[in-house]
């Protein structure tokens, strides 16, 4: 099983729009992926309800896990997504204030 740990960069954490974008990306990978907070039980990362129920704030570290032949590729893509501020206005994802 492949695993990756990443800090959530979205300024509102994984709530509302960032959670939607993340869970859609998980579903698009075609790989079963789980997400967990430190000490928490892993949940299905393709479920917006499960992801939002974790209450993951900005800067919190999460662990993604997946199994299968495309697990490493899928996790690399998802880590890149979580390391981006998904709540930033279009075209402003890399800008700082």
Please list the rounded mean pLDDT of every run of 10 residues in the chain (97 residues). 96 94 97 96 97 96 96 97 87 46
pLDDT, residue 42, reads 98
pLDDT, residue 37, reads 97
CA distance 96 to 35: 28
Residue 15 belongs to domain with CATH number: 3.30.1340.10
CA distance 40 to 25: 22
pLDDT, residue 97, reads 40
Structural domain contains residue 36 = yes
Structural domain contains residue 57 = yes
Structural domain contains residue 64 = yes
Structural domain contains residue 78 = yes
pLDDT, residue 89, reads 72
Tokens of 65: 């896990």
pLDDT, residue 90, reads 64
Into how many domains does the chain fold?
Answer: 1
Structural domain contains residue 24 = yes
Structural domain contains residue 92 = no
CA distance 46 to 11: 21
Structural domain contains residue 88 = no
What is the pTM assigned to this prediction?
0.89
Structural domain contains residue 91 = no
Q: Which of 15, 32, 43, 44 is catalytic?
A: 15
Strand residues in 1-97 grouped as ranges (E): 2-7, 33-37, 43-44, 61-66
For residue 67, what are the CA distances in angstroms to 2, 3, 43, 51, 95?
6, 9, 14, 19, 34
Owning domain of residue 78: 2-82
pLDDT, residue 87, reads 84
The reply to whether 15 belongs to the active site is: yes
């Amino acid at each position: 099983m492949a695993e990756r740990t990443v800090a959530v960069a979205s300024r509102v954490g994984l709530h509302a729009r960032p959670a939607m974008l993340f869970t859609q990306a998980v579903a698009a990978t075609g790989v079963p992926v789980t997400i967990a907070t430190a000490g928490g039980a892993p949940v299905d990362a393709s479920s917006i309800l499960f992801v939002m129920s974790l209450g993951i704030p900005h800067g919190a570290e999460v662990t993604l896990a997946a199994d299968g032949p495309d697990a490493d590729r899928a996790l690399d893509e998802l880590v890149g997504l979580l390391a981006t501020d998904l709540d930033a206005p279009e075209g402003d994802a890399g800008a700082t204030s």
